[in-house]
Amino acid sequence: MYRSHVLVCGGTGCTSSGSQQIINVLEEEISKQGLDQEVKVIKTGCFGLCALGPIMIVYPEGSFYSRVKPDDIPEIVSEHLLKGRIVKRLLYSETVTDDGVKSLNDTTFYKKQHRVALRNCGVINPENIEEYIAFDGYEALGKVLTEYTPEQVIQVIKDSGLRGRGGGGFSTGLKWSLARMNDADQKYVCCNADEGDPGAFMDRSILEGDPHAVLEAMAIAGYAIGATQGYIYVRAEYPIAVKRLEIAIAQAREYGLLGKNIFDSGFDFDIGLRLGAGAFVCGEETALMTSIEGHRGEPRPRPPFPAQKGLWQKPTILNNVETYANIPQIILKGADWFASMGTEKSKGTKVFALGGKIHNTGLVEVPMGTTLREIVEEIGGGIPDGKKFKAAQTGGPSGGCIPAEHFDIPIDYDNLISIGSMMGSGGLIVMDEDTCMVDIAKFFLEFTVDESCGKCTPCRVGTKRMLELLTKITHGNATMEDLDKLEELCYHIKQNSLCGLGQTAPNPVLSTLKYFRDEYIAHVVDKKCPAGVCKALLSYEIDEDKCKGCTLCARVCPVGAITGDVKNPHHIDKTKCIKCGACMEKCRFGAIEKK
């Protein structure tokens, strides 16, 4: 029996900031100080506050240590774990108050959050099925198999109002009932864990922190539609998630929670893993199934929809990881409980991966309908260096931007579509005033050009032409006709592409054109980049009145473009200048200007 548990985050974020080393040093130090029978170290999934990693939380006190270094460990062990004196200096500063330490749940980052899909992340050891069971794991599956008919299960999911968390927002219950209605000797349940949007990492974190929730939900789905086999399609770039899934599947089989005759109900269900090679298009459902079948991952036209003819031409349902993670909770707590959260047409919560120009980079889960302002300013801690919010990009390369004028819009599926963006998988990239919107659109287009599978012409050729036009704009060589051409091309690609990748690829351009057209015009007509990002449109100049002739800029210039005598104003040779900005950064007199 252990009197204290030390939970260390083993998600990808904290692993890359060195949490495995922390665990090793911690275990060594604990046994050195003779506490190994009293204190247990547990590696968990993501806590969400990735910006502060490596993260460590000590129970029963609930003390939250952030940015832990190996050198801090001996002090934490001897002071806190042995003598019970919390090392306040090393705690997450927001939890330290004048009269003691406050709970993590009272900090601004966690206060407004409501964790459903992430409820076990950072709480349990994902490599131990018994810990999942201790937190009511597999009870929903047991309840469904022993008390519900498949139709009742589908009805509960329908009543809850759950919609797909992967992008489109299709009703999960409806999807299941369509697959149930199609008779076949074999049906399949698939999990889309091919998370490809730049900046989105909630599916990875759920698989790393709570893999059994996904397995349990897939088995429930299998029972509901009449399938006996499931597949999880996960990208090979997620090694920790893959490893934990392998462990979880093996443990579930060992406990008889996957396999034959589960809960003595006569229901058989098993799950196989399929690793993706990292093509973005394989997140599209038809391409994903083609890839599982062993072919090159390319989409095919719909209909027939997967619920009619999916994997190996059999009725198939495909849901996203986060969607599945909600299912066991809906069964246990009821459809009404789930439907009580969120907005009229978007129920429940949504996980967002916060990134970009924001203090608290990480994962947050909030009820649908929370405003962008609450997420950015309160939970996210605002924008660093006192800069101004300019826009947020949601939905990655398929989505669009939300400008400052919509800062107070309640975020749900329909509101985002009405302002020209989309939920996507929930990546939320915050941009400040130093971001050039044309450059951002170009960044996403570069991504889609790379990732277009090449099967259909509008996407293969169209996105390439769009990128060329955007490059022309950022180089200051475009005309107003080019801008019109770009917009027209967007509509063509949207309407004529085969799959979601092409159909949504122009969204970043269309939404930036809608809200930031003046920035495009500045690039085209004035040949200026207002944010000072597009290098071709910049020039650096030295203000002769301010320059003291200290020679520092001339010394840091990597190409020798700055000349001048000591104590005399210097000069930049614009033909040599590569616009790296090193001189401006170093100048102590503010004499160098970017124009």
Partner 1 sequence: MKSLEELKAIRDKVKHSVNVREEDGDAIRVVVGMATCGIAAGARPVLNAFTEEVAKRELQNVSITQTGCIGICQYEPVVEIFTPDGQKTTYVKMTAEKVARVVADHIVNGNVVTEYTIGANTK
Query: Between the CA of residue 452 and those of 9, 285, 458, 499, what are the distances in Å?
Result: 35, 15, 10, 10
- Which residue from 84, 266, 303, 558 is in contact with partner 1, where contact means CB under 8 A? 84
CA 436 from chain centre, in angstroms, equals 22
Check if the beta carbon of residue 138 is closer than 8 Å to that of residue 332: no
Helices (H), 226-263: 239-254
The torsion of the CA quartet 279, 283, 286, 287, rounded to 10 degrees, works out to 0
Given the complex with partner 1, which of 61 and 293 has the nearer CB atom? 61
Q: Is 152 in the site for partner 1 (CB under 8 A)?
A: no
Closest CA to 375 of 339, 414, 421, 408: 408
> Residue 341 Cβ, how far from partner 1 at the closest point, in Å?
22
- Which residue from 90, 257, 271, 281 is in contact with partner 1, where contact means CB under 8 A? 257
> Residue 406 Cβ, how far from partner 1 at the closest point, in Å?
37
Residue window 22-61: x/- pattern of binding to partner 1, with contact defined by CB under 8 A: ---------------xx--------------------xxx
> Residue 110 Cβ, how far from partner 1 at the closest point, in Å?
12
| Stretch (H or E) spanning 464 | helix 457-474
Site for partner 1 in 98-137 (CB under 8 A): 103, 105, 123-124, 130-131, 133-136
# of chain residues touching partner 1 (CB under 8 A): 37
Given the complex with partner 1, which of 115 and 309 has the nearer CB atom? 115
Check if the beta carbon of residue 105 is closer than 8 Å to that of residue 111: yes
Stretch of residues binding partner 1 (CB under 8 A), selected from 1-9, 380-388, 424-432, 448-456: 1-9
Given the complex with partner 1, which of 265 and 563 has the nearer CB atom? 265
Given the complex with partner 1, which of 261 and 495 has the nearer CB atom? 261
Report the distance separating Cα 348 and Cα 331, nearest Å. Answer: 14
Largest CA distance in the chain: 90
Length of the chain: 595
The torsion of the CA quartet 519, 524, 530, 536, rounded to 10 degrees, works out to 140
Token representation of residue 300: 């095919």
| Region for residue 328 given its phi and psi (left: phi exceeds 0; alpha: psi -120 to 50; beta: otherwise) | alpha
Given the complex with partner 1, which of 34 and 301 has the nearer CB atom? 34
Site for partner 1 in 64-83 (CB under 8 A): 82-83
> Residue 59 Cβ, how far from partner 1 at the closest point, in Å?
5
Given the complex with partner 1, which of 258 and 423 has the nearer CB atom? 258
Binding residues vs partner 1 (CB under 8 A): 1-5, 7, 37-38, 59-62, 82-85, 103, 105, 123-124, 130-131, 133-136, 138-139, 142-143, 146, 255-257, 262-264
